[in-house]
Structure 1
Amino acid sequence: DVPIFLFGATEDMLQQFADRLCERFEGLRIVGKRASAFRQITPEEREELAEEIRSSGAEMCFVGLGCPRQEIFAYEMKEHLSMPLIAVGAAFAFHAGMLEQAPPWMQKNGLEWFFRLTREPGRLWRRYLYLNPAYVSLLALQKLGIYRRKRDGGQSPSKELKFG
Structure 2
Amino acid sequence: MTRYDEAVATVLAAARSSRPFAVTALAVHGVMTGVLDREHGARLNSFDLVTPDGQPVRWALNLLHDTALTDPVCGPTLTLHVLRAAADEGLPVYLYGSTGQTLDCLMLNLQNTLPALKIAGHEASKFRAAGPGEDAEIAARITGSGARIVLVGLGCPRQEAFVHAMRPLLQMPLLAVGAAFDFHAGNLRRPPLWMRKHGLEWLWRLGLEPRRLWRRYLLLNPHYLLLLAAQWAKLRPATPPPPAMDRPAAFPV
CA distance 1:20–1:55, change in 2 (3 Å)? same
Aligned with 2:240: secondary structure?
strand
Measure, in 2, the Cα distance between the counterparts of 1:54 and 1:132: 43
Displacement of 1:101 in angstroms is: 2.0
Measure, in 1, the Cα distance between the counterparts of 2:198 and 2:169: 39
Single out whichever of 74-83 and 120-129 deviates more from structure 2.
120-129
- The answer to whether residue 126 in structure 2 is matched with residue 34 in structure 1 is no
Structure 2 unmatched runs, 5+? 1-89, 249-253
TM-score of the superposition, structure 1-length normalised?
Answer: 0.80
- The answer to whether residue 175 in structure 2 is matched with residue 83 in structure 1 is no
Cα offsets for 1:29-57 (capped at 9, x unmatched):
11000000011221322221111111111
CA distance 1:136–1:19, change in 2 (3 Å)? farther
Does 1 or 2 have the higher relative contact order (CA < 8 Å, sep 6+)? 2
Single out whichever of 107-116 and 56-65 deviates more from structure 2.
107-116
Write 1 or 2 for the structure with the bigger share of helix.
2
Aligned with 2:204: secondary structure?
helix
**Mapping of residues 72-111 of structure 1, within 5 Å:** 72-111=161-200
% same residue: 45
Write 1 or 2 for the structure with the bigger share of strand.
1
Aligned with 2:168: secondary structure?
coil
Cα offsets for 1:5-47 (capped at 9, x unmatched):
0001111110110111121113101100000001122132222
Measure, in 1, the Cα distance between the counterparts of 2:115 and 2:160: 29
Aligned with 1:85: secondary structure?
strand
Structure 1 unmatched runs, 5+? 158-164
Measure, in 2, the Cα distance between the counterparts of 1:33 and 1:87: 15
In the other structure, the counterpart of 1:130 is 220
TM-score of the superposition, structure 2-length normalised?
Answer: 0.54
